[in-house]
Amino acid sequence: MRLDAVGKRYGLRQPWIVRNVSQEVAAGRLIRLEGPNGSGKSTLLKMMAGVSTPSAGKVIGRPHTGYVPERFPAALGFGVREYLQHMARIHGLAAADAGTAVGEWLERLGATDYARAPLRTLSKGMCQKVAIAQALLSRPGLLVLDEAWTGLDQAARGALDAAVADRLSAGGTVLFVDHDPARLADRVDERWQLAGGMVIVVAGGAGAARAPAQATVIVELAGVEAASLPALAQLDGVLAVSGGPGIVGEPVTEPGLIAVTIRQAESDALLRELLTWDGVHVAGLRPAQAGPGQHRTGR
Amino acid sequence: MIALLRYQAVNLFRSHRWILPLICYVLLISVGGVGAGSSAVPAYLRAQTLADGLDWSAAILVPVVALLTRSMLTAEPAAARACVSAATGPARAQLATLLVAFAAGVVLAPVGASYELVTAGHKTALLLPFSEGLAKALTCILVGSAVGTLVNPPLIRHQAVALLSTIAAIVVAWVSSISPANAALHGNGATIQSSAWPAGVPMLAAFALVVVSWGASCWLAGGRGG
């Protein structure tokens, strides 16, 4: 599966929430999306799940997908088993297999007693179990979890962790967002950090999960006038500017680009500021070579 | 697709959002279909011939199907739709909701037409007007579906605007001479003046409207992303 220059904005005059994300998504990997509130994590997840159509670019080769939304609504007129049975059929299971799969997942998530309960009467945690079950029924090649652990009891959290491991060992890809930095930390293969709507891919691993505050990022800018280089260097969070006439330092991928080394903690605000500059646009974003803790390998 | 249709049909049934359109239909049918002999009803509301009655039962399918379409387009919570979209894609999920509202209209049409048949004042030459009446009903279902699709989410997302435009669009579909429903109803000169539209054109035009509106709705379904 591959993202090709994917971007999203909710209206022609609205700002881009996600911009120009080109990324290979290898099969069998566990990928964690990170970023502050409003950085576009859920938006990117939805596009990768096929729920939302990108405003620019496209998602290529998406396998069969199960998606667990951030909040699952109880406002549906179905019973638990009945809803899951419908979802299993929609996911392409035959009637008999659907019944078996529904029974299995209700049991794994500890929801068998609620099989007959109407969705409307369920607590938040039970609703979340239903949302998780519907995504896993068909054993999808791509599992997308948007804060799926929130509101679950201990046993169900364990069951979900095990289900993620199942998907990975079957060669599936799992994408997730979670507020707990320790979630599946020892298994994460890649961490995608969203800043200014763009993605910086960082290797996973337990150590890397505790992202250092000093991490730095290199932004490549096009269309910066020589006269505004000093102003650029003065901005909060900018550590170094290179690539301009007579300046050496970080290499740039194309001549004419300006490479700016910035502190990752401030990258979001900084990118927003830069995008208001006349004629300036961001050509690329990558972790700095010297960024501490960023190049530990995963498993 | 069959699994999707079944899910959406059950969702419509359980959401009780079909009740208001059905009540509208029953009320309007009974008002329009009151027998010619009753003096309690003003003359212009009486169904004097079977053709009149059938025209009436077809005409009221425009608002009823438009309301059903609106019900379907707003019945499913965004997160539930997102789960379905991940499995099938947003366009197919949207198509299923539109088809279910359309199918509900197709179920209602013969019920109303049969009621007119039973209560008609002059029971002569029943078969021809009945089949013509069903053809008009189909045109009206198509127009109702197109109207309901065009003025509701995802094409119009603002709730109040969508509701008001639904009402406005129904009126336009009824009275304006460019509306295929209007043309179909006036086609045989049974009710008011005869139409300039050649036979068959209203239904084709209504069908084209449905293709365009459904296409736009399905295309935009993934736009806001759940």
Region B141-154: mean pLDDT is 93
Q: Higher pLDDT residue, B34 or A140?
A: A140
- Minimum mean pLDDT among A6-20, A85-99, A147-161, B124-138: which range? B124-138
Superfamily of domain A68-171: P-loop containing nucleotide triphosphate hydrolases (3.40.50.300)
Inside any domain, residue B226: no
Is the preceding peptide bond at B153 cis, omega within 30 degrees of 0? no
The partner residues of A68 in beta bridges, in order of sequence, read A145
Please work out, in degrees rounded to the nearest 5, the angle formed at the alpha carbon of residue A243 by the alpha carbons of A241 and A245: 105
Residues in chain A: 299
In tens, the pLDDT along A128-146 reads 999 999 999 999 999 999 9
- The C-alpha of A76 sits at a distance from chain B's nearest C-alpha, in angstroms, of 7
pLDDT of residue A196: 83
Which residues from chain A sit within 8 angstroms of residue B16, using beta carbons?
77
According to the model, what pLDDT value does residue B182 have? 82
Calculate mean pLDDT across residues B81-102.
96
Q: What is the DSSP string of B88-127?
A: H-HHHHHHHHHHHHHHHHHHHHHHHHHHHHHH-S--SS-H
Given a cut of 60, is residue A92 above it in pLDDT? yes
| B122 pLDDT tier (thresholds 50, 70, 90) | low
- Asked if pLDDT for residue A236 goes beyond 90, the answer is no
Over residues A77-90, the pLDDT tens digits come to 999 999 999 999 99
What is the predicted pLDDT for the residue at B142?
Answer: 95
Are A10 and B222 in contact (CB < 8 Å)? no
- Architecture per CATH, A2-63+184-209: 3-Layer(aba) Sandwich (3.40)
CA distance A198 to A20: 7
Region(s) of chain A under CATH 3.40.50.300:
2-63+184-209, 68-171
d(CA B150, CA B166) in angstroms, rounded, equals 9
Question: How far, CA to CA in Å, does A9 sit from each of A15, A158, A234, B204?
Answer: 6, 36, 30, 37
* Span between the terminal Cα atoms of chain A, in Å: 21
Q: Which helix (H) or strand (E) holds B129?
A: helix B127-150
Q: How far apart are CA A122 and CA A130, in angstroms?
A: 10
Per-residue model confidence as pLDDT tens digits over A203-218: 765 444 445 556 788 8
B106 to chain A, minimum CA–CA distance in Å?
Answer: 24
Q: Stretch B179-185: mean pLDDT, rounded?
A: 81
Whether B90 sits inside 8 A of A46 (CB atoms) is no
Confidence of residue B36 (pLDDT cuts 50, 70, 90): very low
How large is the ipTM?
0.86
Amino acid at A120: R
Nearest to B79 among A8, A72, A82 (CB): A72
Mean pLDDT of A168-172: 95
Query: A176: which 2 tokens?
Result: 């997730």
Fold of A216-287: Alpha-Beta Plaits (3.30.70)
Residues B101 and B69 sit within 8 Å (Cβ to Cβ)? yes
Residue B199 lies in a domain: yes
Domain count, chain B: 1
Confidence (pLDDT) at A123? 93
Instruction: Please report which confidence band the pLDDT of residue B178 belongs to, taking 50, 70 and 90 as the band edges.
Output: confident
Q: Considering chain A, what percentage of its residues have pLDDT values greater than 90?
A: 59
φ/ψ of B16, rounded to 5, equals 60, 15
Question: Helix (H, G, I), strand (E, B), or coil: what is residue A248?
Answer: coil
Alpha helices (runs of H) in chain A, residue ranges in sequence order:
41-49, 80-90, 95-108, 124-136, 154-169, 206-209, 229-234, 267-275
Residue B125's pLDDT band, with cuts at 50, 70 and 90, is: low
Nearest-by-CA chain B residue for A135: B83
Whether B18 shows a pLDDT value over 80: the answer reads yes
Determine the structural domain holding residue B25 and report its residue range.
2-220
Contact assignment for A50 to B85 by CB distance below 8 Å:
yes
A46 touching B, CB under 8 A? yes
Q: How much is the pLDDT for A12?
A: 86
% of residues, chain B, pLDDT over 90: 50
* Res A42 pLDDT > 70: yes
pLDDT value of position B192: 41
What CA–CA distances, in Å, run from B38 to A202, B34, B42? Answer: 81, 7, 9
The answer to whether the CB of A209 falls within 8 A of the CB of A185 is yes
Q: Is residue B225 part of a domain?
A: no
Lowest mean pLDDT among A93-107, A205-219, A227-241, B211-225: A205-219
Confidence at A262, pLDDT banded by 50, 70, 90: confident
Mean pLDDT of A4-24: 91
- In this complex, do A77 and B15 lie within 8 Å of one another by their Cβ atoms? yes
Cβ–Cβ pairs < 8 A, chains A and B = 97
CA–CA separation, B184 and B140 (whole Å): 8
What is the phi/psi pair of residue A66, to 5°? Answer: -110, 135
CA distance A63 to B106: 36
Alpha carbon distance A267, A195 (integer Å):
6
From chain A, the residues in CB contact with B10 under 8 A are 77-78, 82, 86
> Looking at residues A195-209, what average pLDDT do you find?
72
Quote the CA–CA distance of B5 and B101 in Å, as a whole number.
10
**pLDDT value of residue B196:** 60
Cα distances from A267 to residues A77, A287, B162, in angstroms, run 45, 11, 40
Q: How far is A67 from chain B (nearest CA, A)?
A: 6
Question: CA–CA separation, B9 vs A273, rounded Å?
Answer: 49
Report the pLDDT value the prediction gives residue B100, as an integer from 0 to 100: 97
pLDDT of residue B33: 54
A78-82, A178-182, B115-119, B222-226: which range is least confident on average?
B222-226
pLDDT at position A132 = 97
Which of A191-195, B92-96, B123-127, B152-156 comes out lowest in average pLDDT? B123-127
Residue A264 near residue A217 (C-beta atoms within 8 A): yes
* pLDDT for res A225: 82
The pair phi, psi for residue A168, each rounded to 5°, is -65, -45
Query: Which residues of chain B approach chain A closer than 8 Å at the C-beta?
Result: 3-4, 6-7, 10-11, 13-16, 76-80, 82-90, 222-226
Mean pLDDT rounded to a whole number for chain B: 84
Contact B76 A10 (CB under 8 A): no
Highest mean pLDDT, choosing among A124-128, A236-240, B37-41 = A124-128
Q: What distance in Å separates the CA atoms of residue A31 and residue A178, rounded to the nearest whole number?
A: 11
CB-based contact B226 A50, cutoff 8 Å: no
Q: Binning pLDDT at 50, 70 and 90, where does residue B40 land?
A: low
| Dihedral of alpha carbons A11, A235, A209, A23, sign | positive
